Amino acid sequence: EAAGVGISPEQLLPLYPVTATKIYMNLGEPDAIEKYKDLPFDGIGLMRIEFIITDWVQYHPLYLIEQGRENLFIDKLAEGIAKVAQAIYPRPVVVRFSDFKTNEYRGLKGGEKYEPEERNPMIGWRGVSRYIHPKYEPAFRLEVRAIKKVREEMGLTNVWVMFPFVRTTWELERALKIMEEEGLKRGKDFKVWAMAEVPSIALLADKFAEYVDGFSIGSNDLTQLILGADRDNNVLAEMGYFDERDPAVLAGIKMIIEKAHSKGATVSICGQAPSVYPEIVEFLVEAGIDSISVNPDAVIATRRLVASIERKIMLKRLNKIMDKLNKLELGF
Ligand code: PEP
Ligand code: MG
């Protein structure tokens, strides 16, 4: 008896249509998985770990290393990631390595002395550029060890990783090498993705595809960088400059999908755009994206929308096929 919600499984079915495009969910707060785990998503397409660091760890990782307390960082990170991976096993959890800006890192306890003052933190020392820097590399290794702990000691092999703010192939190669030195190697059941959020990746996704299994489009940063419009600038936002539906942004997204697919890499998206704009979801499905990751409150609506778009695309294709067959007069 579904007395609590007063809805039967038959009535629920339309909320859970099967789609060819995977529907993923974005998550930052590990405890929130308890609330959302039964939603119809195929995995976590973006697990941000910044929340775990600011709220659970609270200290700057280099400060902890200096104090000989780096296990605190590894253990808390592993605990948060494992919580999510366990709750939705065997669905995958794509964990993104941290992508704080220097001004945000400085806010962590003990963080001031490790962080340079930057004029433009948004395009400064963030993403992979930190992991491969001799000063920060030891902290990146802690993140890798946390992933390794979850996958190997806790057996949660549904945990994959994703590199944020990738700018060049050489930095990606170096970061992958550090990961390998820690004993984590890209493989059949350990997928490694790169976020596509700097226009260099849109231009050369086929080259970047040599290093990763897939891409996830960070439409927030990609929009900012393609349009040259600071994502936190209210004046520009009010004037309508920051718009993921801008034709230049859509052209960038299309390039990523085509170039990645030409080399067999998958493409997902984890920025805000598909959680907010149904027309972007339609654009993405028509462009052949493999998965779409949205906020928890957009999972059901996105799944239904994708199902209806896929149905429309399929009918269009079948119509074309039937036209051809009819011309052959095969007597259907
Ligand atoms: C993005 O840029 O679209 C993204 C998902 O990353 P963040 O918002 O954390 O920069
Ligand atoms: Mg981003």
What pLDDT digit, counting tens, does each position of 215-242 carry? 999 999 999 999 999 999 999 999 999 9
Does residue 219's CB lie within 6 angstroms of at least one atom of ligand 1? yes
Nearest Cα neighbor of 198 from 66, 99, 112 is: 99
Structure tokens at 167: 């700018």
Ligand nearest the Cα atom of residue 96? 1
Q: Is the pTM of this model over 0.90?
A: yes
Q: What is the pLDDT of residue 266?
A: 98
Q: What is the pLDDT of residue 125?
A: 97
Q: Which residues contact 301 (CB under 8 A, 6 or more apart)?
A: none
pLDDT digits over 39-69, tens only?
999 999 999 999 999 999 999 999 999 999 9
Task: Check residue 96 and report its DSSP letter.
Answer: E
Does residue 42's CB lie within 6 angstroms of at least one atom of ligand 1? no
Does residue 244's CB lie within 6 angstroms of at least one atom of ligand 1? no
Q: Which residues contact 177 (CB under 8 A, 6 or more apart)?
A: none
Q: What is the pLDDT of residue 9?
A: 80
Ligand nearest the Cα atom of residue 26? 1
Residues of the chain with pLDDT under 50: 1-2
For residue 171, how far is its CA from the centre of ligand 1 (angstroms)?
19
Q: What is the pLDDT of residue 1?
A: 44
For residue 220, how far is its CA from the centre of ligand 2 (angstroms)?
6
pLDDT digits over 236-263, tens only?
999 999 999 999 999 999 999 999 999 9
**Does the ipTM surpass 0.95?**
yes
Q: What is the pLDDT of residue 331?
A: 62
Main-chain phi, psi angles of 96, to 5 degrees: -90, 130
Query: Most distant CA pair in the chain: distance in Å?
Result: 81
Is residue 49 within 8 A of residue 95, CB to CB? The reply is yes
Q: What is the pLDDT of residue 3?
A: 52
For residue 271, how far is its CA from the centre of ligand 1 (angstroms)?
5
Q: What is the pLDDT of residue 2?
A: 44
Task: Identify which of 197, 268, 280 to mutate to test ligand 1's pocket (most ligand atoms within 8 A of the CB).
Answer: 197
Q: What is the pLDDT of residue 15?
A: 77
Q: What is the DSSP string of 178-196?
A: HHHHTT---BTTB-EEEEE
Nearest Cα neighbor of 221 from 248, 197, 204 is: 197
Which ligand 1 atom is nearest residue 164's CA? 6
CA pair distance 204, 45, nearest whole angstrom = 23
CA pair distance 47, 95, nearest whole angstrom = 5
Q: What is the pLDDT of residue 10?
A: 84
Task: Identify which of 122, 220, 223, 280 to mutate to test ligand 1's pocket (most ligand atoms within 8 A of the CB).
Answer: 220
Which ligand 1 atom is nearest residue 216's CA? 5
